[in-house]
Chain A
Amino acid sequence: MRHHIQNKIYHVEILPPKQDSEKLEADLELFANKYARVMESGYCACITDNAMGNLAFQGTEMIQELDLPVYPEQVMIHLNTFHTKENLDEILNTCIEKGIKYLLVVSGDGSERLPKLKPSDIGAEGVESVTSVELLKYINREYKDKFVLGVAFNPYEPEDHEFEKMERKIAAGATFIITQPIIEKNPVVDKLLEKYPDVPVIVEAWMSKKLHLLSDAVGYTIPETTEYDPIATLKMLHKIYPKCGVYLALLGFKTQFDLIKDTWVSE
């Protein structure tokens, strides 16, 4: 992951089509186009896993069914705990088969329709439910040395709790961290960088103008009347966190993609 930061490789989020899409063919084409643009640009495509609990197709099945090329340094799959054991292993085996090595392991939002891994499914003992920690342990145990595993960090959660969780995530095998979106210098992220100087940290930049969604993500209300310029915020994040990578959430491929190539300016 250091390599990504040193070579200014953006992590670009791509959302697969939703399960209830009424224009599936068009959505698949759009996904394939976005993926191709990310590959051509040398960035890393980060494919979400039922983001916000919305039922969507899996990143691995998108790559398989659309026969998309995988360049190992350029693909990251999100993986949450809302799967059956069978489905989890299928995803992991497809990743190995396709050469996908980067996984972002998260607990996930879930929904009524999604099955949740049970501790007994993945040999987790002494816990009542499966979180990203148990999932990391399982992957590291059953798929040793096959993946580079990352985890999420939420600077808006109670700090002590979040750092305690992070400790367990690192102990379970996480080797890189991606934050929730930040829109300014964040003291909790600063502490994270101080505490884990050897772990690559990627800060999330919010590229959408939909502030209500950003409010949901950060956990406090950002007034809709706030002037928000995603590109300016992105440039600012590079200045504040020059040693971090950047994950671009909800990037506008039509209006923003061509603008980002000049945004990663070193000090």
Chain B
Amino acid sequence: MKIVVCIKQVPATNDAKIDPETKRIVREGQKAILNPFDTYAVEEGVRLKEKFGGEVIVITMGPPKAEAVLCEAISAGADRGILLSDRAFAGSDTWATSYVLAKAIEKIGDVDLVICGKQAIDGDTAQVGPGIAAHLDWMQATYVMAVDSVEDKNITVKRMHEEGYDVCELQLPAVLTVVKDINTPRIPTLKGRLAAQKCEIPVWKPEDIGAEPDKIGLNGSPTRVVKTQPPEPRQTKTIRIEGTPQECARALVRELRLRSLV
């Protein structure tokens, strides 16, 4: 199987700052990490490769420093990475971003499966995976919690929803977005980290993937963000429960039930 995993570098913070002019997240001076949901996508790609053979290619669109997340994915078992980086890509919304990623997937060629995390923790849109499927005109399944089988150019997955899950059969090539129930990502080994440090990441620009200028960056982005503001911080309250262990346990269960947590 040739598997492409789309990943993203995101700020490592819950305290995101937004530029009032551009309405975009301020990334300067922030520690950046691999989007946590994408670690599940990488792991699933690697597991499928280990089971069925083939190759896992990780791709990301971002500034040069986004190379770090490609290396991290390689240290976790991906075979190679490709960075899509150019000033012309800047300002892309989810539609333009998924267009760029789809063009890169076309250029890679003969791809059987694309896997994305369900969403990125900075934008929280969950639109890029479905956008890639739309641009490629491939079948897609979102919120995938398990891959049941891959047979004869078909893949069967469980798709999570509020009331349980659907079992879906898709024809390959297809796009999946995965939730964290799908697996437990492995911890990169030191050997993997050291090997990843030596790997060379090719950088693709719009002309390398045949991207049309009016479909990328701000020009290719139909979304206009008129106002953005961080959510109100969650209010936390500490309750001290006193009494015998039995009384405390009963009171704790009562409090959890009141909040529908059990």
CB of B188 within 8 A of chain A?
yes
Residues in A with CB closer than 8 Å to B191 are 61, 64-65
A113 contacts which of B185, B189, B190, B197 (Cβ < 8 Å)? Answer: B185
Give Cα distance in the complex from A19 to B185, angstroms.
Answer: 14
CB of B235 within 8 A of chain A?
no
Which 10 A-B residue pairs are closest in the complex by CB-CB distance? A61-B190, A115-B184, A57-B190, A65-B190, A65-B191, A61-B189, A55-B187, A24-B193, A19-B188, A62-B190
Give Cα distance in the complex from A64 to B194, angstroms.
Answer: 13
Q: Chain B: how many interface residues by the 8 Å CB criterion?
A: 12
Give Cα distance in the complex from A62 to B193, angstroms.
Answer: 12
Give Cα distance in the complex from A85 to B117, angstroms.
Answer: 26
**B interface residues with partner A (beta carbon < 8 Å):** 33, 184-191, 193-194, 197
Give Cα distance in the complex from A115 to B186, angstroms.
Answer: 8
> Would you list 26 pairs from A and B whose C-beta atoms are within 8 A, ordered by A residue?
A19-B187, A19-B188, A19-B193, A20-B33, A24-B193, A24-B194, A24-B197, A55-B187, A57-B189, A57-B190, A57-B193, A58-B189, A58-B190, A61-B189, A61-B190, A61-B191, A62-B190, A64-B191, A65-B191, A65-B194, A84-B184, A84-B186, A113-B185, A113-B187, A114-B187, A115-B184
Least distance between B65 CB and chain A CB atoms (Å): 11
Given contacts A58-B189, A62-B190, 16 further A-B contacts (CB under 8 A): A19-B188, A20-B33, A24-B194, A24-B197, A55-B187, A57-B189, A57-B193, A61-B189, A61-B190, A61-B191, A64-B191, A65-B191, A65-B194, A84-B186, A113-B185, A114-B187
Least distance between B20 CB and chain A CB atoms (Å): 30
Residues in A with CB closer than 8 Å to B185 are 113
Give Cα distance in the complex from A24 to B71, angstroms.
Answer: 13
Give Cα distance in the complex from A58 to B189, angstroms.
Answer: 8
Give Cα distance in the complex from A114 to B39, angstroms.
Answer: 13
* CB 8 Å contact bits of A49-72 with B (1 = contact, 0 = none): 000000101100110110000000
Q: Chain A: how many interface residues by the 8 Å CB criterion?
A: 14
Give Cα distance in the complex from A207 to B95, angstroms.
Answer: 55
Residues in B with CB closer than 8 Å to A55 are 187
Least distance between A58 CB and chain B CB atoms (Å): 8
Give Cα distance in the complex from A58 to B194, angstroms.
Answer: 14
Least distance between A98 CB and chain B CB atoms (Å): 15
Q: Which chain A residue lies CB-closest to B75?
A: A19
Task: Give the one of A57, A84, A114 with max B CB within 10 A.
Answer: A57
- DSSP class of A's interface residues: helix, strand, loop or mixed? loop
* CB 8 Å contact bits of A149-184 with B (1 = contact, 0 = none): 000000000000000000000000000000000000
Residues in B with CB closer than 8 Å to A24 are 193-194, 197
Residues in A with CB closer than 8 Å to B193 are 19, 24, 57
* CB 8 Å contact bits of A22-43 with B (1 = contact, 0 = none): 0010000000000000000000
Give Cα distance in the complex from A243 to B187, angstroms.
Answer: 40
Least distance between A83 CB and chain B CB atoms (Å): 9
Q: Which chain A residue lies CB-closest to B180?
A: A112
Give Cα distance in the complex from A55 to B33, angstroms.
Answer: 14
Residues in B with CB closer than 8 Å to A64 are 191
Residues in A with CB closer than 8 Å to B194 are 24, 65
Give Cα distance in the complex from A58 to B186, angstroms.
Answer: 13
Give Cα distance in the complex from A19 to B193, angstroms.
Answer: 9
Least distance between A121 CB and chain B CB atoms (Å): 12
Least distance between A91 CB and chain B CB atoms (Å): 11
Give Cα distance in the complex from A61 to B187, angstroms.
Answer: 12
Least distance between B248 CB and chain A CB atoms (Å): 14
Residues in B with CB closer than 8 Å to A65 are 190-191, 194
Least distance between A235 CB and chain B CB atoms (Å): 37
Give Cα distance in the complex from A57 to B189, angstroms.
Answer: 7
Least distance between A22 CB and chain B CB atoms (Å): 9
Least distance between A201 CB and chain B CB atoms (Å): 30
Least distance between B121 CB and chain A CB atoms (Å): 13
Least distance between A17 CB and chain B CB atoms (Å): 8
Residues in A with CB closer than 8 Å to B190 are 57-58, 61-62, 65
Give Cα distance in the complex from A113 to B34, angstroms.
Answer: 13
| Beta-carbon contacts under 8 Å, A7-29 to B | 19-20, 24
Residues in A with CB closer than 8 Å to B33 are 20
Least distance between A232 CB and chain B CB atoms (Å): 37
Q: Which chain A residue lies CB-closest to B191?
A: A65
Residues in A with CB closer than 8 Å to B187 are 19, 55, 113-114
Q: Which chain A residue lies CB-closest to B192?
A: A61
